[in-house]
Amino acid sequence: MARNTTRFFCTDCGHEELRWLGQCPACQAWNTFAEMKVAPAVGASKGARGYSAAAKRPVGFGGQASAGGPPAGAAPQPVPLAKVQSAATRRLPVEPAEVARVLGGGLVEGSVVLLGGEPGVGKSTLLTGLALWWVRQGIRVVYLAGEESPAQIRMRAERLGFRPDREPGFLILPEVHLETILGALDEATLAAASGSGVAAGPPPATIVIADSIQTLHSDEVDAYPGSPTQIRYCGGVLADFARRSGWPVFLVGHVTKTGDLAGPKLLEHMVDTVLYFEGSGGGAIRMVRAVKNRFGTTGELAVMEMRGEGLVPVDQAGLMFLSGRRGVEPGAAVCAVKNGSRTFLVEVQALVSPARYGTPQRVVQGVDSKRVALLAAILEKRGGLDLAGCDIFVKVAGGGRVDDPGADLAVVVALASSLRERPVPEGTLVLGEVGLTGEVRGVSELEARLREAAGHGFTRVVLAAVAGRRPRGVKGIEQVPATSVEEAVALAFEPGHPAGGRRAREATP
Where does this chain bind ligand TYD (CB under 6 A)?
117, 119-125, 156, 159-160, 306, 308-310
Element (H, E) at 455: helix 446-455
Interface region with Mg ion, contact rule CB under 5 A, candidates 124-132, 298-306, 382-390, 432-440: 124-132
**Which of ligand TYD, Mg ion, none interacts with 121 (beta carbon under 5 to 8 A by kind)?**
ligand TYD
Q: How far is the CB of 229 from Mg ion (least distance, A)?
A: 23
Amino acid at 153: I
372-396 burial code (b ≥16 CB/10 A, e <16):
beebbebbeebbebebeebbbbbbb
Q: CB of 301 within 8 A of CB of 340? A: yes
**Which of ligand TYD, Mg ion, none interacts with 309 (beta carbon under 5 to 8 A by kind)?**
ligand TYD
Interface region with Mg ion, contact rule CB under 5 A, candidates 119-127, 237-245, 333-341, 356-364: 119-127
Report d(CA 161, CA 309) in Å as an integer. 8
Q: CB of 221 within 8 A of CB of 229? A: yes
Strands 16-17 and 5-10: antiparallel
Q: How far is the CB of 144 from ligand TYD (least distance, A)?
A: 13
The alpha helices in 65-196, defined as continuous H runs, are 97-102, 123-136, 150-159, 178-184, 187-193
- Residue number with CB closer to ligand TYD (143 or 344): 143
**Residue 124 in contact with Mg ion, rule: CB under 5 A:** yes
Interface region with Mg ion, contact rule CB under 5 A, candidates 118-126, 312-320, 327-335, 428-436: 118-126
Q: How many residues does the chain have?
A: 509
The alpha helices in 203-300, defined as continuous H runs, are 228-245, 263-267
**Which of ligand TYD, Mg ion, none interacts with 21 (beta carbon under 5 to 8 A by kind)?**
none
- Residue number with CB closer to ligand TYD (123 or 460): 123
- Residue number with CB closer to Mg ion (124 or 227): 124
Q: Is 484 helix (H, G, I), strand (E, B) or coil?
A: strand
Q: How far is the CB of 274 from ligand TYD (least distance, A)?
A: 16
- Residue number with CB closer to ligand TYD (117 or 471): 117
- Residue number with CB closer to ligand TYD (310 or 331): 310
- Residue number with CB closer to ligand TYD (309 or 421): 309
**Which of Mg ion, ligand TYD, none interacts with 120 (beta carbon under 5 to 8 A by kind)?**
ligand TYD
What torsion, rounded to 10 degrees, do the Cα atoms 131, 135, 136, 139 define? 120
What residue ranges bind Mg ion (CB under 5 A)?
124
